Chains A and B, each alone.
Chain A
Amino acid sequence: MRIGASIIMKNRVAVQSYGWNLLRPLGDLQFILDSLDEYECDEITVLRYARSEDDAQAYNADIDVLESCNTLSPLSFGGGIRSLKDLEKIRRLPVERLVFSSAVFEGNYSLIEEAATLFGHQAIQCLIPISYNNDKVRVFIPSQNRFIGVEEIDFESLHNLCNELIVYDTDADGFDNLFSFNALQDIKFPLPRTILMGGIGLDVIKRAKSEGVAAVSIDNRVLHKEYSILEAKKYAGL
Chain B
Amino acid sequence: MKVDLIDLGIGNTRSVTNWLTKVNCDVNVINRVEDINSELLVMPGVGAAGKFMHKLRKTGFDNSVRNHVSAGGRLLGICLGFQVMFEYSEEDGGVQTLGILGGKVERLRGVGTHNGWEQTSFDFRQVDISEHWRKAKLTRAKVLCGRFFYNHEYAAVNGDRDQRSFPISNSLKNYSGVVISRNVIGVQYHPEKSQQSGIEFLRHIL
Binds B, one of A115-123, A135-143, A204-212: A115-123
Please state if B18 and A94 are interface contacts (CB–CB under 8 Å).
yes
Docked Cα-Cα span, A71 to B115, in Å, equals: 18
Asked whether A228 is an interface residue with its Cβ less than 8 Å from the other chain, the reply is no
Docked Cα-Cα span, A70 to B22, in Å, equals: 11
Q: Do A74 and B113 contact each other (CB < 8 Å), given the known contacts A94-B15, A118-B47, A120-B47?
A: no
Please state if A120 and B80 are interface contacts (CB–CB under 8 Å).
yes
Please state if B15 and A122 are interface contacts (CB–CB under 8 Å).
no
Docked Cα-Cα span, A66 to B80, in Å, equals: 24
Complex interface bits, B193-204 against A, C-beta within 8 A gives 1, otherwise 0:
111101100000
**Cβ < 8 Å to A, chain B residues 39-90:** 46-48, 51, 80
List chain B residues, Cβ under 8 A from A93: 12, 14
Asked whether A82 is an interface residue with its Cβ less than 8 Å from the other chain, the reply is no
Please state if B18 and A122 are interface contacts (CB–CB under 8 Å).
no
Asked whether B153 is an interface residue with its Cβ less than 8 Å from the other chain, the reply is yes
Please state if B12 and A117 are interface contacts (CB–CB under 8 Å).
no
Q: Which of A70, A92, A117, A215 contacts B51 (CB 8 A)?
A: A117
Measured CB to CB, the nearest residue on chain B to A66 is B14
Quote the shortest CB–CB distance from B144 to chain A (angstroms).
16
- The interface size bin for chain A is 20 to 34
Please state if B195 and A122 are interface contacts (CB–CB under 8 Å).
no
List chain A residues, Cβ under 8 A from B48: 116-117, 120-121
Q: Which of B18, B116, B152, B192 contacts A42 (CB 8 A)?
A: B116
Q: Do A119 and B195 contact each other (CB < 8 Å), given the known contacts A42-B116, A74-B151, A74-B190?
A: no
Q: Do A37 and B195 contact each other (CB < 8 Å), given the known contacts A120-B48, A122-B115, A214-B115?
A: yes
Docked Cα-Cα span, A93 to B12, in Å, equals: 7
Q: Do A123 and B46 contact each other (CB < 8 Å), given the known contacts A74-B149, A74-B190, A96-B151?
A: yes
List chain A residues, Cβ under 8 A from B12: 90-95
Measured CB to CB, the nearest residue on chain A to B153 is A122
Docked Cα-Cα span, A42 to B9, in Å, equals: 27
Asked whether B30 is an interface residue with its Cβ less than 8 Å from the other chain, the reply is no
Please state if A70 and B18 are interface contacts (CB–CB under 8 Å).
yes
Complex interface bits, A200-228 against B, C-beta within 8 A gives 1, otherwise 0:
00000000000000110000000000000
List chain B residues, Cβ under 8 A from A116: 48
Asked whether B143 is an interface residue with its Cβ less than 8 Å from the other chain, the reply is no
Asked whether B166 is an interface residue with its Cβ less than 8 Å from the other chain, the reply is no
Please state if A42 and B117 are interface contacts (CB–CB under 8 Å).
yes
Measured CB to CB, the nearest residue on chain A to B199 is A72
Interface, chain B (partner A; CB < 8 A): 9-12, 14-15, 18-19, 22, 46-48, 51, 80, 113, 115-117, 149, 151-153, 190, 192-196, 198-199
Apart from A72-B18, A72-B195, A74-B151: 17 A-B pairs, beta carbons within 8 A = A42-B116, A42-B117, A67-B14, A71-B18, A72-B193, A74-B190, A75-B15, A91-B9, A93-B12, A94-B15, A96-B15, A118-B11, A118-B46, A121-B48, A121-B153, A122-B115, A215-B116
Interface, chain A (partner B; CB < 8 A): 2, 37, 40, 42-43, 67, 70-75, 90-97, 116-123, 163-164, 193, 214-215
